[in-house]
Each structure stands twice: as C-alpha cells, then as structure tokens.
Amino acid sequence: MLSDPSTIPLSSRTLNHLADRIRAHRRQHRSRWRRLAPGRQALLALAHLRNGDTYTRLAAGFAVGVATAWRYVQEAIVLLAAAAEDLATAMRRIRRLAYAILDGTLIPIDRVADQKPHYSGKHKRHGMNVQVIADPAGRLVWASPALPGSTHDLTAARTHGIIDALTSADVMTFADKGYQGARGSVRTPFKRRRFRPKLSRRQKTVNRAHARIRARGERAIAT
C-alpha cells in the first residue's frame, strides 16, 4: 500500500487542545487501553474534520479499523461540542463590544439521502447554514449550531434567537442584505426596490461604509 503524507492547515495549539480534552475524558471515565494515544486520536479527528479524509483512508493511515476510526472521530466531535459556548454565555462578551458583525456561511457537506433541505440555492451546493458573530476587528466571538443549508440567513438568526439577544443587549450589529427586516439593533444596507430603483448619493456612501465594516467579518468566517 502506498503512503501519501499530507498536511493539516491547523496549529499545534489546536492539536494539543483537543488531545488534552481527550486525555481528560479518558481519565474521567477510567478508560481502558486504547489503540491510539490521545495525541494520535486528536490528529486522526482533525484530519477528518479539516481535510475531509474518509474513514477508510484514516483507518489505513493510523492502522486501526474503520469502525474504530469512526468512533474516535465521533468522540472528538462530542468533546469539542461540549466546550462551545451557548449564545447566552457569549452575550456577556458581545454586549461589551462597540458593535458586532453578523453573517452567515455555508459549510459544504456530502450529499445525503434527503438532499432538498440541505441544498442552498444561493450557493448552488449542499451544506449547513452556520451563523457567525464577529467583533469590530473581525475576530470570531460565537458560531451557532448548524441548520440545513436551505435555511435563509434571517430565518436562521431568528431560530437561534440571535436577533432578540443582540437587541436586548443593545449591541449595534452590522449585517448584509440577507438580514433585511430583522429590525431591532441590526443594521443592513439600503436596498433598491421597485418604488426606489436608484439609491441616493448619501445611501450609496452609507452602503460603502457599511460594506467596509462587514468585510472584517470575513476573517471570522474563515476562522
């Protein structure tokens, strides 16, 4: 069998973080001997999550069974999910911001049996909708649980209670045209309509400034 070495575009800090969580989980449950050490299990899980390596390839590369590779990845996902903050906890930091940036992104997935709910007409592919809140510097503050890719950004934000939370905290939030109608503390660009086919010079200036602020949120999306 040929060996194909590859890289994972993540820092060693990420690997150590996940390995520490796996190590603590094993101590807590007094887990018996495992085929892979915590660091190797973390590497296997990150190879799947970041590079999309299949369970078959991971099993061959780490010299474990396919079922074992699947079990190791699922265990890592549960541990990572447990470490994530909920919106209420994140709002303690968000309400101290000068303003926030709200955006949605599509995380690509493989096709599934019931394809329609996961197909995004905007992106023309299957995926999951994740809502992201960034600070003024574009740093990731909070990411929502995933919803099927066909979910509109405004619907997703309302489903997660993001609009109400930001409004209650009185945090001015910049978002794109996909959040038109959100109201509350969410600010969106001016949009041309049937009765307003052209934007005024002032509205165009406001939209350009709005776009410059929102562009920083792309850094959080990339994170």
Place of tokens 């503050």: 141
Rounded to a whole number of angstroms, the CA Rg of the chain reads: 21
d(CA 108, CA 83): 23
The one-letter amino acid code at 76 reads: A
Q: Based on the number of CB atoms within 10 Å of its own CB, is 173 exposed (0-12), middle (13-18) or buried (19 or more)?
A: buried
d(CA 178, CA 194): 18
Res 110: pLDDT: 76
d(CA 133, CA 157): 10
CB 210 within 8 A of CB 186: no
Please name which of 101, 105, 103, 181 lies closest in space to residue 149, comparing C-alpha atoms: 105
Dihedral pair phi/psi, residue 128, rounded to 5°: -125, 140
**Mean pLDDT computed over 107-128:** 83
**Mean pLDDT computed over 79-96:** 91
Identify the H or E element spanning 100: strand 100-108
pLDDT above 60 (res 177): yes
Q: What angle do CA 95, 148, 104 make, to 5 degrees?
A: 35
Total-model pTM: 0.79
Q: What angle do CA 216, 217, 219 make, to 5 degrees?
A: 80
d(CA 150, CA 107): 12
Domain boundaries, the chain: 12-83, 87-222
Q: How many CB atoms lie within 10 A of CB 71?
A: 14
Res 3: pLDDT: 54
Res 111: pLDDT: 67
Least trusted range by pLDDT, from 1-10, 16-25, 39-48, 138-147:
1-10
d(CA 191, CA 197): 9
pLDDT above 80 (res 1): no
Query: What letter does residue 193 receive in the DSSP assignment?
Result: B
pLDDT above 70 (res 4): no
Three-state DSSP state, 192: coil
Identify the H or E element spanning 7: none
d(CA 120, CA 14): 30
